[in-house]
């Protein structure tokens, strides 16, 4: 509603303001604290950065509204406001994982920030990494993300597709190796399954009482999967609940995997059915109600919406990698799926 100008303003807490991400022409600071702590220079910078957005506004405006006479400890709110206005962003110490280290190196190479290995060493000589620089660079070469010729490093088309998609090299390699064998949707579901699903309180309460345990409501918890795959507790449920759980078993516990029910097939099949309902033009609210009505599975509409958005990002990644390898069929299939899910 705010984006459509039906609302003139959005009021948030300081914590939420740090995560708001929609085009606003101006930001007003009614308070300069977050909870019982003063805003830091970095928090203040992040929040004021919400004011104005290219293609929407010519400039962004920020207003601070300190209250005369109000103080926090020995400092007045006015002096705090002046300090924040004069402050600069504080250095941030980044803790890298192996994947984020490789992602950072690849991004630097794609952006032209580093085109030799010696330049990479110079840029990161004072940083701590889980992998030695030589080992990290070897991984980029081994996975065909970069090329090196005459000591000059350049990103491959595949490497650029991976970098702009913010994928780990493992995820990207899974797409690369399977895009000729698997449908783009199956690839995306393998890498981005829906996981915010829960059993209804009615079922978990009854099963917990029968087995004399505190049963997890998380649908894909190992303990929940184990209980749902057996019949001892299910047979003692009330008839209408037992019928829905049995329907869940028949619809989702159909694989022949040795690791069943811990193989992930249940999660992928539920994810596939959510997508299928979306392709049939069901909105997240309708999908949520359908899951509860048929299976006593509780999935928030907001979680379904967010997951569909993440799935689209993964399909876009599949499309970019397929395009790098000139796989027109996978590109077309990905485009069609993205349009159908979005519309």
Find the range with the poorest average confidence among 79-88, 167-176, 309-318.
Answer: 79-88
pLDDT above 70 for 16:
no
Let me know: does 312 contact 338? Beta carbons within 8 Å.
yes
Q: What is the pLDDT of residues 210-244, one digit of tens each?
A: 888 888 999 999 999 988 888 777 888 888 888 99
Q: What is the pLDDT of residues 292-317, one digit of tens each?
A: 999 999 999 999 999 999 999 999 99
**Strands in the chain per DSSP E:** 26-29, 33-34, 37-38, 61-64, 71-72, 75-76, 146-149, 152-155, 198-199, 297-298
Q: State the pLDDT at residue 17.
A: 62
Predicted model pTM? 0.76
Residues 6 or more apart whose Cβ sits within 8 Å of residue 26: 51, 52, 60, 61, 62, 63
Q: How far is CA 186 from CA 27, 169, 179, 282, 336, in A?
A: 43, 19, 10, 20, 14
HSE, side-chain direction, 13 A CA sphere, residue 210: 15
Find the range with the poorest average confidence among 111-115, 141-145, 193-197, 320-324.
Answer: 111-115
Q: Model confidence at 15, in pLDDT bands (50, 70, 90)?
A: low
More confident site: 195 or 232: 195
HSE, side-chain direction, 13 A CA sphere, residue 281: 0
Task: Name the pairing type of β-strands 198-199 and 297-298.
Answer: antiparallel
More confident site: 93 or 121: 121
Is residue 263 classed as helix, strand or coil in its secondary structure? coil
pLDDT above 70 for 122:
yes
For the chain, what is the mean pLDDT?
A: 90
> What integer is the mean pLDDT of 233-257?
88
Is residue 217 classed as helix, strand or coil in its secondary structure? coil
Ramachandran assignment for 166, one of left (phi > 0), alpha (psi -120 to 50 degrees), beta (any other): left
């Amino acid at each position: 509603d705010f984006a459509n100008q039906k609302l003139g303003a959005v009021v948030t807490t300081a914590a939420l303001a740090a995560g708001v991400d929609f085009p606003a022409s101006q930001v007003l600071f009614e308070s300069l604290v977050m909870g019982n702590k003063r805003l830091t220079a970095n928090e203040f910078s992040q929040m004021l950065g919400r004011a104005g957005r290219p293609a929407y506004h010519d400039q962004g405006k920020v207003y601070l509204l300190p209250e005369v006479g109000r103080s926090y400890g020995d400092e007045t709110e006015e002096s705090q406001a002046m300090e924040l206005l004069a402050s600069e962003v504080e250095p941030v110490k980044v803790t890298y994982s192996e994947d984020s280290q490789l992602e950072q190196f690849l991004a630097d190479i794609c952006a032209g920030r580093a085109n030799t290995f010696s330049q990479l060493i110079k840029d990161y000589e004072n940083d701590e990494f889980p992998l030695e620089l030589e080992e990290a660079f070897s991984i980029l070469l081994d996975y065909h993300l970069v090329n090196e010729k005459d000591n000059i490093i350049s990103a491959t088309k595949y490497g650029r597709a991976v970098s702009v998609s913010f994928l780990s090299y493992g995820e990207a390699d899974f797409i690369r190796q399977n895009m000729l064998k698997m449908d783009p949707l199956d690839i995306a579901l393998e890498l981005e399954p829906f996981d915010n699903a829960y059993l209804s309180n009615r079922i978990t309460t009854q099963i917990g009482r029968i087995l004399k345990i505190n049963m997890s409501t998380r649908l894909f918890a190992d303990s929940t999967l184990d209980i749902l795959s057996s019949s001892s507790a299910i047979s003692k449920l009330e008839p209408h609940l037992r019928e829905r759980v049995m329907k869940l078993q028949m619809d989702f516990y159909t694989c022949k995997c040795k690791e069943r029910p811990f193989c992930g097939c249940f999660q992928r099949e539920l994810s596939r059915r959510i997508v299928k309902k979306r392709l049939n033009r069901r909105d997240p609210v309708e999908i949520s109600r359908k899951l509860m009505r048929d299976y006593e599975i509780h999935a928030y509409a907001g979680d379904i919406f967010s997951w569909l958005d993440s799935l689209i990002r993964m399909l876009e990644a599949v499309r970019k990698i397929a395009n790098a390898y000139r796989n027109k069929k996978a590109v077309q299939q990905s485009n069609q799926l993205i349009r159908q899910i979005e519309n």
